[in-house]
Amino acid sequence: EAQVTQNPRYLITVTGKKLTVTCSQNMNHEYMSWYRQDPGLGLRQIYYSMNVEVTDKGDVPEGYKVSRKEKRNFPLILESPSPNQTSLYFCASKVLAGGREQYFGPGTRLTVT
């Protein structure tokens, strides 16, 4: 089954404790992206990657890091999480051809206390 998977689905952590949210897709998509969803704000892009070893900042990159060492994986790293990073996070992937839909993972609910 073609899908984007994320782990963990739920995470409660404390301020300053480094964490990684994993994302993997099995569709051989070149493009991968991370979004965060906050009430009343819709979804906003954090980082994106056009291919292996090619990453760039989205609209809200502060406090996040990413890497793309393999085509299928695109982990999101929070080196020192803060309460304002409490949010619902989505990973997405798509083929690079213009206008193709983005396939979303199931979401990761992160709470930073």
Contact set with other proteins (CB under 8 A): 31, 33, 35, 40-45, 48, 50, 56, 58-59, 88, 90, 92, 94, 96, 98-99, 101-102, 104, 106-107
Cβ-based nearer residue to other proteins, 14 or 96: 96
Q: Which residues contact 77 (CB under 8 A, 6 or more apart)?
A: 18, 19, 20, 64, 65, 66, 67
Compute the least distance from the CB of residue 80 to other proteins, in Å. Answer: 25
Cβ-based nearer residue to other proteins, 12 or 14: 12
Question: How far is the C-alpha of 17 from the C-alpha of 89, rounded, in Å?
Answer: 18
Q: Is the link from the previous residue into 8 a cis peptide, with omega within 30 of 0?
A: yes
Q: Taking the CB of residue 111, how many other CB atoms lie within 10 A of it?
A: 14
Cβ-based nearer residue to other proteins, 14 or 41: 41
- 70 touches 55 (CB < 8 A): no
DSSP 8-state secondary structure symbol assigned to residue 34: E
Compute the least distance from the CB of residue 65 to other proteins, in Å. Answer: 17
Cβ-based nearer residue to other proteins, 3 or 82: 3
Compute the least distance from the CB of residue 8 to other proteins, in Å. Answer: 14
